[in-house]
């Protein structure tokens, strides 16, 4: 069993749709990371959050520490949002190493 | 701020050959990580450096993989000899000393073994 599990694994949406990606984890953590990986392989850190909700542009991330669950939402999706979204939970309090989810591959169709 | 630089972007070699990857972290970042990401899987940590010292290399296949960060800045990851199962994207990341900051990732090197 993976310490971090994501769903769905693959997601196809029409441009403009509201998208939700879910992440559940079994380890005790103080913060969770959401990462975006484009087809070329580069990874960008989107959010690091420890409680509540964070918003950046059309991206919203929420976390419920008690339920060990986080969601990443994309409003008004666009083809350029097509990427793999990965959630990552720190192994320990140092925040140096992570359990990574296997990612959700998102394709947004024009 | 310049990001994490990696080279080459792509590499194709035959099995049993050797290959080396290079990473230049963000200036001032003491912690450097090498990850292996096999298609369809999340990144797996291979080795973590703090300055020029190794913090964790427990998942590094030491019979064929080696990494160094001699001056605490640039790092190289080497595979010798390569096997088919080494085909993956190799990602380098860096973070400030505190470790609780988000890691900054490079674009990765996509390695294909023929």
B40 or A102, which is more confident?
A102
Tell me whether residues B101 and A95 touch, CB distance under 8 A. Answer: yes
Q: pLDDT tens digits, residue range A22-45?
A: 999 887 777 888 999 877 666 788
Q: How confident is the model over A41-67, as a mean pLDDT?
A: 88
Beta strands in chain A (DSSP E): 4-7, 10-14, 19-25, 32-37, 43-49, 52-56, 59-64, 69-74, 83-90, 98-100, 104-109
Q: pLDDT tens digits, residue range B47-87?
A: 989 888 998 898 899 999 999 998 889 999 999 999 999 99
Per the CB < 8 A criterion, the answer to whether A20 and A77 are in contact is no
CB-based contact, B99 to chain A, within 8 Å: yes
Going by pLDDT thresholds of 50, 70 and 90, the confidence category of residue A16 is very high
Q: How confident is the model over A77-85, as a mean pLDDT?
A: 93
Tell me whether residues B102 and A43 touch, CB distance under 8 A. Answer: no
Contacts of A43 in chain B (CB under 8 A): 43, 91, 93, 105, 108
CB-based contact, B44 to chain A, within 8 Å: yes
């Amino acid at each position: 069993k993976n310490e971090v599990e994501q769903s769905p694994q693959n997601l196809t949406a029409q441009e403009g749709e509201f998208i939700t990606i879910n992440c559940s984890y079994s380890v005790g953590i103080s913060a969770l990371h959401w990462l975006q990986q484009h087809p070329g392989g580069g990874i960008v850190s989107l959010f690091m959050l420890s409680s509540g909700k964070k918003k950046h542009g059309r991206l919203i991330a929420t976390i419920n520490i008690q339920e060990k669950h986080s969601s990443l939402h994309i409003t008004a999706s666009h083809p350029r949002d097509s990427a793999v979204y990965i959630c990552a939970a720190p192994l320990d309090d140092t925040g140096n190493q992570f359990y990574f989810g296997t990612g959700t591959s998102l394709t947004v169709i024009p | 701020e310049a990001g994490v630089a990696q080279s080459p972007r792509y590499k194709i070699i035959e099995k049993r050959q050797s290959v080396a990857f290079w990473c230049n972290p963000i200036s001032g970042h003491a912690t450097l990580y090498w990850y292996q990401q096999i298609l369809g899987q999340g990144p797996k940590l291979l080795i973590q450096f703090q300055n020029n010292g190794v913090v964790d290399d427990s998942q590094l296949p030491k019979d064929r993989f080696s990494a160094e960060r001699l001056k605490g800045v640039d790092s190289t990851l080497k595979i010798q000899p390569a096997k088919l199962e080494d085909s993956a994207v190799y990602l380098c990341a860096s973070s400030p000393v505190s470790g609780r900051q988000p890691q900054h990732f490079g674009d990765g090197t996509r390695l294909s073994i023929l």
